[in-house]
Amino acid sequence: MKPFWLHSGLALLEADEHGGLRVTDAFLVAYLHRAELAPIESSCAAELALHASLHEDPRRRVDEAELNAIVDRDARDSWRLFLRFRDRLLDAPNLQAAYVAIFADAQRSGRIDVPPLLVEQLAQIIVHHMLAHCEDGLMLRVAELWFREQRVTLADGRVLLADLETVQARAAGAGRGNLGRLLAQAQTGTSVDFDVIDATNADAYFGRDEQHDFAVEIGHGRAAAQRLCELLRRWIGHLLGVGVRVNGLSSIEDPRWRWHTGLDSQSSLLLDKLYRGEGLDPDEHRRLLLLMRLDFDRLEDQDPRVAGKPVYLALAADEAGVLRMKPQNLLFNLPLQAH
């Protein structure tokens, strides 16, 4: 088995007999070493005491008086966010259930109360757990869409994705030097080079897995698009326990179209327009990167009002050329049978 994503946090968790991930003290203590919470020279006595006590007992209850005693307001806010996140993890039977509950509560309240960075880390851990024995570097590069934003480049009919943070770092002059095969354009207009990963060089992903310096071609019919369909199938099965099939599409030709789900906010808007028969303007059409069709394995799992009907899925870039996938959309926007 080839190791990858060693810093995701998965190694600090324990798997139960059903595949759920149990939170450990070591996992919680690791957050105390993050820059947002680790003590600095200006940390007050109250903050130092809180940090030390949680290092000894990361599950202990922290009352409001302890937080209010911290002098620095930004530090107080950081601790409140962490403790809210920690309590969500501890209140759930496993990490997967905590992830689902974060978004279920957000749907009811209209706001998410956990920082996006922490939610993305949970998504990475869950995907890492799903793919723990994977030795396909192309599959793993596609899985980065679950937790890292992508810069989209459209060139000669190809849809190419490069890690947004890496693009921005290289555009600023960091990490340049090697010639690559993708010319990705940052918002600054500075050209940066990436290698493009495919089935022939997928083994090169290992050893570079945390550098996020491979681009990937995701258009219809490409190997990476097929890997994406497989990952979506596994994600739904792992978190919802529902069997589905997902396949790529070149277009949607369905006069009885009943249901669709965008995998990001932009594709949701564009699918809505297509569903209403409004059509897309040229720019919107270019930004619609990939179409897919999802079918349920068992009609009993699907809302009887649309049983047997496909669910259309899509990925799209925003107007700035960035793809921000929201894997949680598949947990709440599928026509599931009510239980």
Mean pLDDT over residues 262-267, rounded?
Answer: 97
Radius of gyration, alpha carbons of the chain: 22
Q: What is the mean pLDDT of the chain?
A: 92
- By mean pLDDT, which of 110-114, 179-183, 259-263, 286-290 is the weakest? 179-183
**Which two tokens mark 55?**
């290092």
**Which two tokens mark 26?**
């070591």
Query: Binning pLDDT at 50, 70 and 90, where does residue 183 land?
Result: low
Is the pLDDT reported for residue 24 higher than 60?
yes
204-241 pLDDT per residue, tens: 999 999 999 999 999 999 999 999 999 999 999 999 99
Instruction: Give domain limits for the chain.
Output: 10-130, 137-217, 223-332
What is the structure's pLDDT at 156? 81
Query: Binning pLDDT at 50, 70 and 90, where does residue 190 land?
Result: very low
Is the pLDDT reported for residue 154 higher than 70?
yes
pTM over 0.85: yes
Is the pLDDT reported for residue 110 higher than 90?
no
Share of the chain above pLDDT 70, in %: 94
Query: Binning pLDDT at 50, 70 and 90, where does residue 157 land?
Result: confident
Q: Which residues of 255-287 are buried (b: 16+ CB within 10 A; e: fewer)?
A: eebebbbbbbebbbebbeebeeeeeeeeebeeb
**Rounded CA separation 194/319 (Å):** 22
Pick 62 or 187 by higher pLDDT: 62
Is the pLDDT reported for residue 74 higher than 60?
yes
What is the structure's pLDDT at 176? 47
What is the structure's pLDDT at 186? 46
Is the pLDDT reported for residue 76 higher than 80?
yes
Is the pLDDT reported for residue 189 higher than 50?
no
Strands (E), 107-265: 150-155, 158-163, 182-185, 191-197, 214-217, 244-249, 259-262
What is the structure's pLDDT at 196? 95
- CB atoms < 10 A from the CB of 188, how many? 11
| Closest by CA position to 213, among listed 190, 179, 263, 264 | 179
Query: How far is C-alpha 327 from the geometric centre of its chain's CA atoms?
Result: 6
232 touches 294 (CB < 8 A): yes
What is the structure's pLDDT at 109? 87
Is the pLDDT reported for residue 5 higher than 60?
yes
What is the structure's pLDDT at 216? 97
176 touches 192 (CB < 8 A): yes
Is the pLDDT reported for residue 68 higher than 60?
yes
283-327 pLDDT per residue, tens: 999 999 999 999 999 999 999 999 999 999 999 999 999 999 999
Query: Binning pLDDT at 50, 70 and 90, where does residue 175 land?
Result: very low
44-64 pLDDT per residue, tens: 999 999 999 999 999 999 999
